[in-house]
Structure 1
Amino acid sequence: MTNYVLENAEKEGWGSSPLFNGQRIMIEFSCPNTNKPLHLGHLRNNVLGESLSRIMKAAGAEVKKVNLINDRGIHICKSMLAYLAYGQGRTPEDEGLKSDHFVGKYYVLFNRLKEEDPFAEEKAQELLQKWEAGDPDVIALWEKMNKWAVEGIMDTYRRQRVSFDEFHFEHETYKLGKQEVLEGLARGIFYRAEDGAIQVDLEDVGLGKKVLLRKDGTSIYITQDIGTAIMRYNRWPFHQLVYVVASEQQYHFKVLFEVLRRLGYSWAENLYHLSYGLVNLPSGRMKTREGTVVDADDLIDELTELAANEIADKGREEAVGDIEDVAEQVALGALHYFLLQVSPGKDMLYNPEQSLSFTGDTGPYIQYMGARASSILRKHKNGEGNAGQGKIDVSLIVSDSDWSLMRLLMDFPYTIEQSAKNKDPSILAAYAHQLASEFSAWYRDNPVLKNDNPDISASRLALVTAIKEILRRASNLLCIPFLDAM
């Protein structure tokens, strides 16, 4: 076992699992609205989707990461209406605001507009009808505000190091959804209610009755989701499509999957809703319309500043080099690990200070132990110690702590498999922390470079090399930047 691990740990792809070999898995995540910037809840969604995609790929799947940009609908029209009322033609540059934050300002201002104009809701609905009818002025405003929102959101993705293979836009798919609903009506699968709306009766499966098209003919979320799912399968026939969406939408996806089944799409059996819990703050749940949300950009800024202070307090500025860059990587490590260490289905309370601790069950602790392993190897490369005069002898790796580490390293492929099978990165997060923790204790009791026996030094150095490599790979799967110095 020891020989196998030490000989293979550095090989590219070691630790991968064949669990999903030959399977196409599409993972939809993030899916922001273009009326506001990303917030803390989006950050959990983003890292959960990105990490799961990497884990599924490590488990053998061909993965396609997709993002549905919700760029039309009543919520978008509310921002547009508020801009018409208060914007005075101003731009993000005029106000020195990041473009998605500028658009989000008007979504919040819609509340003020409702207080001043009792017909604001009706006017927003009229704006939506004009948009669907192709009114040139409405379309021009929509394009301008959408461009601002999307540009800002893309900047946040780049900063969070999240990427996608395809972007789908709601305005491109909702008509296909409307067509499917109308065909379903003609086939008797759906029915027209007394008020003129098209509905589906799902009471036989305990889901009640659900509107699929409003009485005025405009579409709703589920309309475009129907169209988007069909478009995706036609373009890239998948074995499974995973929707990473908050637990609040459980009913929505139960209805969506049942509607697609009733429309006759056999692949609807392969749709899966990965439901995740809410991210709470000490002051309570996040809200957007009231303007009390924690924006993703602001949170990353705050975490980066806190991380920079932590590095400075430890006197590590010279060791890390570019403190601004390293601080942001530590911030992302803290954020991503904190968001992934909890099983997706559970709600969580986010604590920025706790997440940034360099000790305990945190991302920076894992990064720190990876940097420690790198430091040991770097010192050896620079001629420190006597490992260079020794030979690797696995019979010298015999202590209980040696064997505990070896068993952990051997468990890496199985851990990836379990994380993929359960669609739960927290399994891998727990593994990474355990490996970092056991390495810390082992290193304290087992000098690597300062040993009288060069063969022991060489053997322990080989073990450190394997530990560093597995920490690096686990960190990458968890979207935690690996640092060679901290």
Structure 2
Amino acid sequence: MKHYWSTWKGIVAGAVQEAFPDADPQQVEQALSVETPPDTGKGDIAFPMFPFAKVLRANPQAIAQAVAMEVEKAQVGRDIPGGRAEALGPYVNIFLDRPSVGAQVVNDVLSSLGAYGNSDALEGQRITIEFSCPNTNKPLHLGHLRNDALGESVARLLRAAGATVRRVNLINDRGIHICKSMLAYQEFGEGATPESEGKKSDHFVGDYYVRYAQWEKKDPSVEERARELLQAWEKGDSQVHELWLAMNRWAIEGIEKTYERTGISFDQVYYESETYTQGRDEILRGLEKGLFSRDEKGTVWVDLTDIGLDKKVLLRADGTSLYLTQDIGTAIQRQQDWSFDQLVYVVASEQRYHFQVLFEVLRRLGYPWAENLHHLAYGMVNLPEGKMKSREGTVVDADDLIDELASLALEEIRKKGRDEDQEDSLRRAEAIALGALHYYLLQTGPVKDMIFNPQESLAFTGNTGPYLQYVGARVSSMLRKEAAPPQVEPPRELVEEEWQLLHRIAGYPQVVAEAAQGFNPSLLAGYLYETAKTFSRFYHDHPIAVAEDPQVRTFRLGLSRSVMQVMQHGLGLLNIPFLEVM
């Protein structure tokens, strides 16, 4: 059990030292590893002695015998977890006193006031995490939803592991793509507004981006007009700025409504229009220092061929900025605003090269903190029918997808005859939709591409968010009828399913810490699914609230309450609503 591994590892390390006084303590520490025996009849924790054969110049079986004897001696009169040591071949296996350990695990959870799973693994670390970063020419789509789910969950995991976290967003509110929507509106808008059209404001703007793409196919010359519009914007043309402010306001207001709906929030929002000039100034300073070069056309370049990359444009010949330019300025601004130990960018894996260049340019500009920048790359999310394309209007809109999932969830609620209160049913349907969406997007490791299947995501059985919500609701329903005690006493014995649950609960804080340190919520998602399955088997096979023995009933109610608290905490870290009633 991971909760006890560190304690027992220290005990066994001390026993090795007692049995072999000449052993180097550092070598002992490095050689000692911990395993879980595949057969519960062979103990709960195992320490292989193979690695000590060379260090101690002895037979592993003889080492195991000597170390097990010293472990037994060490327990006399000491306050350590209950259990006994036994040499089984070349292993020192620990057989825990399951009832006393089980009671300690349950009481640890019950006394935590909902904070069980938090740790100090990253205490003292200041971490900025950037995610979402939408463009103001279209609404959020399914790809954004994976980014948001990943960024929000990683931020929550980092905080649970003790880090001080600052969630930031960069609104990409300027550039050629924005000007394309603006140009299409100038051409076809005729003064229309989201209100006059009865449309959500970000969808209204997105329609003009699609309209531009259709227009460009018929008349490729309009791209040059879009570039002229960008130049006019950068020169401060008042009419262009007035249109830009209006369309950006429409887009951002709509996007913020989607954030609120999906539980996404930020500690600070940056705007590319406010940071790109700082990036341009940094590039010009680097040019003066000889870090970059300007060609005969006036384009500014950085040559990274010496580190296996390529030559990269930093400023166009007309003086306008690129994404890379503004990212340089934004990174510098963030460090000035809030000094971080690490800055994490949650951006699709297609941008790996971009971040390699960004980090290297910042190093060459002389910023030592550039060594602490990390690109959390994630794979693309597509539909069963293929890849999404914003310009062609074939993306899955975030709002429409959530509406569809909520509608399907409401159908399931009604089929089960649980829709007495219409307002409550709609609330639960929305929560189930978000649970289905966020779990499906997070259960796969970040680096992998994935295909999102709405029907599969909503299943109430199997590896899905609604299944986890259902198990949580089942425990909640039982505990409403029969409350769990504030503390439990060790039972006389434990059935195997109880021990398996306790084993999982004891390891929960370590899972949270590992998921945080690896920026990988899928580790937590997998853990919660296996825990829910383990509880379901226990619930099905053994009486809990109706157990005849009062001591057994009290312990099992406390154990069930522990499972519920772990589920609440874990689902919260995945940004999945916990439901007391399904």
Letter in 1 for 2:433: A
Please give the alpha-carbon distance, in whole angstroms, between the structure 2 residues aligned to 1:321 and 1:167. Answer: 33
In the TM superposition, residue 109 of structure 1 has moved relative to its aligned partner by: 0.5
The reply to whether residue 237 of structure 1 matches residue 333 of structure 2 is no
Please give the alpha-carbon distance, in whole angstroms, between the structure 2 residues aligned to 1:407 and 1:98. Answer: 49
Letter in 2 for 1:236: W
Please give the alpha-carbon distance, in whole angstroms, between the structure 1 residues aligned to 2:435 and 2:404. Answer: 14
Please give the alpha-carbon distance, in whole angstroms, between the structure 1 residues aligned to 2:310 and 2:494. Answer: 63
The reply to whether residue 379 of structure 1 matches residue 471 of structure 2 is no
162, 180, 184: which one aligns with 1:78: 180
Please give the alpha-carbon distance, in whole angstroms, between the structure 2 residues aligned to 1:117 and 1:468. Answer: 60
Deviations 1:363-397 (A, max 9, x none): 0000000001101100114xxxxx88x99442245
In the TM superposition, residue 305 of structure 1 has moved relative to its aligned partner by: 0.2
Please give the alpha-carbon distance, in whole angstroms, between the structure 2 residues aligned to 1:281 and 1:206. Answer: 35
**Cα–Cα, structure 1 residues 261 and 397, in superposed 2: closer, same or farther, change >3 Å?**
farther
Please give the alpha-carbon distance, in whole angstroms, between the structure 2 residues aligned to 1:92 and 1:366. Answer: 39
Deviations 1:110-158 (A, max 9, x none): 1222244332111100000000000000000000000000000000000
259, 265, 270: which one aligns with 1:163: 265
**Residue of structure 2 in register with 1:213 after alignment:** 315
Equivalent residues in 2 for 1:110-149 (5 A)? 110-149=212-251
523, 528, 548: which one aligns with 1:432: 528
Letter in 1 for 2:519: K
Q: In the alignment, is the contact (CA less than 8 A) between 1:30 and 1:46 conserved in 2?
A: yes
Please give the alpha-carbon distance, in whole angstroms, between the structure 1 residues aligned to 2:577 and 2:444. Answer: 19
Please give the alpha-carbon distance, in whole angstroms, between the structure 2 residues aligned to 1:156 and 1:24. Answer: 28
**Residue of structure 2 in register with 1:9 after alignment:** 109
Please give the alpha-carbon distance, in whole angstroms, between the structure 1 residues aligned to 2:527 and 2:487. Answer: 30
**Residue of structure 2 in register with 1:367 after alignment:** 469
Please give the alpha-carbon distance, in whole angstroms, between the structure 2 residues aligned to 1:431 and 1:320. Answer: 34
In the TM superposition, residue 319 of structure 1 has moved relative to its aligned partner by: 8.5
TM-score relative to the length of structure 1 = 0.97
Letter in 2 for 1:283: E
Please give the alpha-carbon distance, in whole angstroms, between the structure 1 residues aligned to 2:471 and 2:370. Answer: 44
Please give the alpha-carbon distance, in whole angstroms, between the structure 1 residues aligned to 2:493 and 2:474. Answer: 20
Largest Rg, 1 or 2: 2
In the TM superposition, residue 401 of structure 1 has moved relative to its aligned partner by: 0.6
Letter in 2 for 1:171: S
The reply to whether residue 336 of structure 1 matches residue 432 of structure 2 is no
**Residue of structure 1 in register with 2:573 after alignment:** 477
Letter in 2 for 1:326: R
In the TM superposition, residue 14 of structure 1 has moved relative to its aligned partner by: 2.1
Equivalent residues in 2 for 1:232-381 (5 A)? 232-318=334-420, 322-381=424-483
Q: In the alignment, is the contact (CA less than 8 A) between 2:107 and 2:487 conserved in 1?
A: no
298, 301, 305: which one aligns with 1:203: 305
Please give the alpha-carbon distance, in whole angstroms, between the structure 2 residues aligned to 1:231 and 1:420. Answer: 26
**Residue of structure 1 in register with 2:147 after alignment:** 45
Deviations 1:265-315 (A, max 9, x none): 000000000000000101111110001110000000000000001111122
Deviations 1:390-410 (A, max 9, x none): 994422451111110001000
Please give the alpha-carbon distance, in whole angstroms, between the structure 2 residues aligned to 1:376 and 1:184. Answer: 66
TM-score relative to the length of structure 2 = 0.81
Q: In the alignment, is the contact (CA less than 8 A) between 1:397 and 1:460 conserved in 2?
A: no
Please give the alpha-carbon distance, in whole angstroms, between the structure 1 residues aligned to 2:135 and 2:533. Answer: 40
**Residue of structure 1 in register with 2:539 after alignment:** 443
Tell me the SS of whatever aligns to 1:273. strand
Please give the alpha-carbon distance, in whole angstroms, between the structure 2 residues aligned to 1:285 and 1:117. Answer: 25
Letter in 1 for 2:102: T
Please give the alpha-carbon distance, in whole angstroms, between the structure 1 residues aligned to 2:423 and 2:248. Answer: 39
**Cα–Cα, structure 1 residues 305 and 57, in superposed 2: closer, same or farther, change >3 Å?**
same
Tell me the SS of whatever aligns to 1:9. helix
Deviations 1:231-259 (A, max 9, x none): 00011110000000001100000000000
In the TM superposition, residue 449 of structure 1 has moved relative to its aligned partner by: 1.6
Letter in 2 for 1:477: L
In the TM superposition, residue 321 of structure 1 has moved relative to its aligned partner by: 6.9
Q: In the alignment, is the contact (CA less than 8 A) between 2:491 and 2:551 conserved in 1?
A: no
Letter in 2 for 1:291: G
In the TM superposition, residue 444 of structure 1 has moved relative to its aligned partner by: 0.4
Larger relative CO (CA 8 A, sep 6+): 1 or 2? 1
Please give the alpha-carbon distance, in whole angstroms, between the structure 2 residues aligned to 1:18 and 1:114. Answer: 55
Please give the alpha-carbon distance, in whole angstroms, between the structure 1 residues aligned to 2:119 and 2:229. Answer: 51
Please list every run of 5 or more consecutive structure 2 residues that lacks an aligned counterpart in the other structure: 1-100
Please give the alpha-carbon distance, in whole angstroms, between the structure 1 residues aligned to 2:493 and 2:185. Answer: 68
**Residue of structure 2 in register with 1:461 after alignment:** 557
**Residue of structure 1 in register with 2:129 after alignment:** 27
Please give the alpha-carbon distance, in whole angstroms, between the structure 1 residues aligned to 2:411 and 2:303. Answer: 58
User: Larger deviation: 317-326 or 421-430?
Assistant: 317-326
Q: In the alignment, is the contact (CA less than 8 A) between 1:37 and 1:100 conserved in 2?
A: yes
Deviations 1:420-469 (A, max 9, x none): 11110000000010111100000001111222212211111010010000
Q: In the alignment, is the contact (CA less than 8 A) between 2:301 and 2:311 conserved in 1?
A: yes
Deviations 1:48-99 (A, max 9, x none): 0000000000000000000000000000000000000100010011111100
Q: In the alignment, is the contact (CA less than 8 A) between 1:319 and 1:485 conserved in 2?
A: no
In the TM superposition, residue 207 of structure 1 has moved relative to its aligned partner by: 1.3
Q: In the alignment, is the contact (CA less than 8 A) between 1:391 and 1:454 conserved in 2?
A: no
In the TM superposition, residue 159 of structure 1 has moved relative to its aligned partner by: 0.4
Please give the alpha-carbon distance, in whole angstroms, between the structure 1 residues aligned to 2:149 and 2:218. Answer: 40
Sequence identity of aligned pairs in percent? 56
RMSD of aligned residue pairs (Cα, Å):
1.4
Tell me the SS of whatever aligns to 1:394. coil
